[in-house]
Chains A and B, each alone.
Chain A
Amino acid sequence: MSTLVYDLAHARAGDKGNTSNISVTAYSEEGWQVLQRELTADRVLAHFRHLTPGPVRRYELPQLRALNFVLENALGGGVTRSLAIDPHGKSLSALMLTIRLPGHNEG
């Protein structure tokens, strides 16, 4: 049994230079418990490995049921010189939501 992050949370991506940050906010307390436990920086890096060698840092805001991931070197050299069709990486929020997490405990 696995769970898609999409089913638990919503996300938004922002950019600064060659760094992308992607917030993940749980819809419910139960979803938050799963995200906090399973959506680790290592798991995010593994999912974004084709875009960046890392590092990925994770910040927790439990009072908002939100995680903030900072993905360095993820924007093809930076917004201003990237050849990507989405140099800001605005669509990467949707990539975050495609991560599968093991064992969702519905509680």
Chain B
Amino acid sequence: MARDKIRIGCGAGFSDDRIPPGVEIVERGELDYLAMECLAERTIARETLDRAKDPTKGYTPVLLERMEAIMPPALQRGVKIVTNMGAANPMGAARVLRKHAPDWGCPDYTCAVVQGDEVTDIMRAHPELALMEDGAPLESLLPRMASANAYLGADVVAQGFATGADLVITGRVADPALFLGPMLHAFGWSYDDYTKLANGTLAGHLLECSGQLTGGCFADPGKKEVEDLAGLGYPLADVWADGRVEVSKTPGSGGRLDVATCTEQLLYEMHDPSAYITPDCVLDASNVTFRQVEKDRVALQGARGKPRTATYKVVVGYFDGYMGSGEMGFAGVNAVARAKLGIEVVKERLRRRGLTYEEMRIDLIGMNSLHGNDATQAPEPYEVRLRIAARTTDKKVAEAVGAEVRSLHMQGPTGAGGGINFGARQILAVKSVLIPREWVKPEIVMERAA
């Protein structure tokens, strides 16, 4: 406590993010804290299903692989770790780490677990809640609900560290809160220090997608160059007790961190810049500026904060049928016409089998698959792939899509090659509701060696 400055690094920006830059930032970043963000909107729904099958599971599947690489160098250097890899089972994650960590040379450490983000019971008790997306009552989703988790704030992360823990494992926590939490803990900021909360939230928002701040998602050869993109380093923030923040990246790593990369990441997944709502504050980023302090180091200025709202956002995961898909390639003379014939053949075969779909999407990869533009206006490519995807409530009906596409190899137009049947995958969709804060009861539980 009562420190003047801390350094927080980002060790992962999504569940399957690259591990080596996470190790690198621990070894070379001179960090005090490492935060790893590994939960997309719907991944926790899958992990909730994993836990239903096996009560010891339900944490992020890559947990052990990532922590085997990260924990030894972090603990050796006194770098404290916070991660939401607990997903649907934070205590399960803590226990499985305790089982394996001695084998990694980490016999002694303390671990705090944040629980209470899961709110499926509250959802069942309040079918009248209105969905944020369309205003419909939550009730319509309840029979198909797979998960429901509230986005907790930085306070629970700070409480985790207040126990003296080396490692804080959470389930659903707002992404920037993983970074703001160590600041609240180290500096004792309170929830009416709006400017400090805003600066810390802004820093978390910039860092939470790892390499997207440091030159990932940016390079355009001949136009916007990124030095050693292959060796892209992860970002870190130097935060002072008075709320000043500078962002930088692992010394000697590849990539770039400058006003341009910061501006792109500031607006990433942001709607109204004057009202970015988090559980910790409402960030007003409309006057934010970035100042290049030195190469790969930028100072953040101008963030303002308004009080946190009286509600938590809850993301509800629910089953929404199955998607089946497949692809087939064509090349050379008349390739596009052959691909189009293949599409008609598959559609007709599905029709004659009596199979119907809620929605079907046809793409000509190489012509219109990404931007959905009018393929009749696109120049004819040398090669093209047809792709057919369709959604239905029946798994077998979904499976027929990719199977029919793949059979074009033998029973379609001439020269069909490189077919893939992606099979059917269950769709886990998400919608959101807001609930009063007081309905949620987060708690910090210490995990101890058995």
Contact = CB atoms under 8 A, between A and B. Distances in A.
Interface in A16-34: 16-19, 21, 23, 25
Contacts of A16: 269, 271
A75 B24 CA distance: 36
Given A50-B373, A79-B41, A85-B370, A21 B264 contact: no
A101 to B, nearest CB: 18
A38 interface: no
A50 B378 CA distance: 15
B110 interface: no
Given A10-B264, A63-B287, A83 B391 contact: yes
B270 A68 contact: yes
Interface residues of A, number: 37
Interface string A56-70: 010101011010101
A14 interface: yes
B220 A78 contact: no
Nearest to B209: A14
Contacts of A84: 361, 372
Contacts of A51: 371-372
Nearest to A14: B269
Contact of A25 (B41, B260, B286, B359): B260
Given A83-B389, A85-B387, A12 B370 contact: no
Contact of A21 (B269, B274, B320, B391): B269
Interface in A56-107: 57, 59, 61, 63-64, 66, 68, 70, 76-81, 83-86, 90-92, 94-95
Interface of A: 10-12, 14-19, 21, 23, 25, 50-51, 57, 59, 61, 63-64, 66, 68, 70, 76-81, 83-86, 90-92, 94-95
Pairs of residues from A and B, 4 with the lowest C-beta to C-beta distance, nearest first: A14-B269, A23-B267, A83-B361, A80-B429
Interface of B: 41-42, 133, 217-218, 220, 224, 259-260, 263-274, 286-290, 302, 320, 323, 325, 359-361, 363, 365, 369-374, 387, 389-391, 427-430, 432
10 contacts: A10-B220, A16-B269, A16-B271, A50-B374, A63-B287, A64-B288, A85-B365, A85-B389, A91-B371, A94-B371
